[in-house]
Amino acid sequence: MSTEAYVYDAIRTPRGRGKANGALHGTKPVDLVVGLIHEIRARFPGLDPVAVDDIVLGVVGPVGDQGSDIARIAAIAAGLPDTVAGVQENRFCASGLEAVNMAAVKVRSGWEDLVLAGGVESMSRVPMASDGGAWFNDPMTNLATNFVPQGIGADLIATIEGFSRRDVDEYAALSQERAATAWKEGRFERSVVPVKDRAGLTVLDHDEHPRPGTTADSLAGLKPSFADIGELGGFDAVALQKYHWVERIDHVHHAGNSSGIVDGASLVAIGSKEVG
């Protein structure tokens, strides 16, 4: 018999610019997670840490600073009991969401009662594609799976579904406007936890990525990010071999309307009714 899974809290760090000049570049990914674990414990002072069954983290590049099962290492570093397990998983851009799904399944099945789930990524320290893999690096696997970079796939989807460059630029501008409004109205006050250094000084307390004042017109001047690799790298041809009814790929995505290159972490406390 299944039980319901409840969200007791959801927190995240601010999102730092995912470059060497970003505010969180000097903060290790494990420390981003540890800070959030400490915050969860501070918000629930009556919680016996032994009650935490597992920590599930989505990590797209599980190597370097983010490797060696960072979820388990964060649990130990945060001072949680040895009974608290930890696992990392990778479903690319949906990794954090999948971690929450896994936590909910664990609780609903009755297998576990309280799970901390979320994700961590320090793109300034562990760049995209750092983990390699056959899909990226092995020519035979590339060929057998019709591999193309995700950006080419996004442009292909936009082409098939009829989304123009103007359409995606207008949506990106709306997203920027919504982010600015949310910060202005204090909608993140409870969920965003400032990152602090070992001395307790605040490293970052706001998202660095949003660009207030962005408009569709200002985005119109940006060069498509994937046109050159699509043509010169041959990825357009690979995609069009499979989607042969598409005459050409309209490259509409660029740095201003794509997902951000950022550093940050999140945690969601998911548990049964009884644990609350």
Q: Give pLDDT tens digits for 142-176.
A: 889 999 999 999 999 999 999 999 999 999 999 99
Per-residue confidence (pLDDT) for residue 135, from 0 to 100: 85
Q: Give pLDDT tens digits for 30-52.
A: 999 999 999 999 999 999 999 99
Longest dimension (CA), the chain: 62
Task: Please name each of the domains of the chain with its CATH number.
Answer: 6-128+261-271 (3.40.47.10), 134-186+209-242 (no CATH)
Which class for 218: exposed (0-12), middle (13-18), buried (19 or more C-beta within 10 A)? middle
- pTM score of the predicted model: 0.95
Query: At residue 1, does pLDDT exceed 80?
Result: no
Could you give the CA distance from residue 106 to residue 114 in angstroms, rounded to a whole number? 9
For residue 256, which of 171, 184, 155 has the smallest C-alpha distance? 171
Query: At residue 57, does pLDDT exceed 90?
Result: yes
Per-residue confidence (pLDDT) for residue 236, from 0 to 100: 98
Query: At residue 2, does pLDDT exceed 80?
Result: no
Percent of all residues in the chain with a pLDDT value above 70, rounded to a whole number: 99
Q: Give pLDDT tens digits for 253-271.
A: 999 999 999 999 999 999 9
The pLDDT-based confidence of 213 (bands split at 50, 70, 90) is: very high
Could you give the angle at the alpha carbon of 161 between the alpha carbons of 147 and 241, nearest 5°?
35
Could you give the CA distance from residue 263 to residue 4 in angstroms, rounded to a whole number? 32
Q: Give pLDDT tens digits for 103-120.
A: 999 999 999 999 999 999
Structure tokens at 53: 């069954």
Query: At residue 238, does pLDDT exceed 70?
Result: yes
Give the list of residues 6+ apart from residue 192 with CB closer than 8 angstroms, or none. 11, 12, 13, 14, 205, 206, 207
Could you give the angle at the alpha carbon of 198 between the alpha carbons of 194 and 204, nearest 5°?
25
Structure tokens at 201: 């000084």
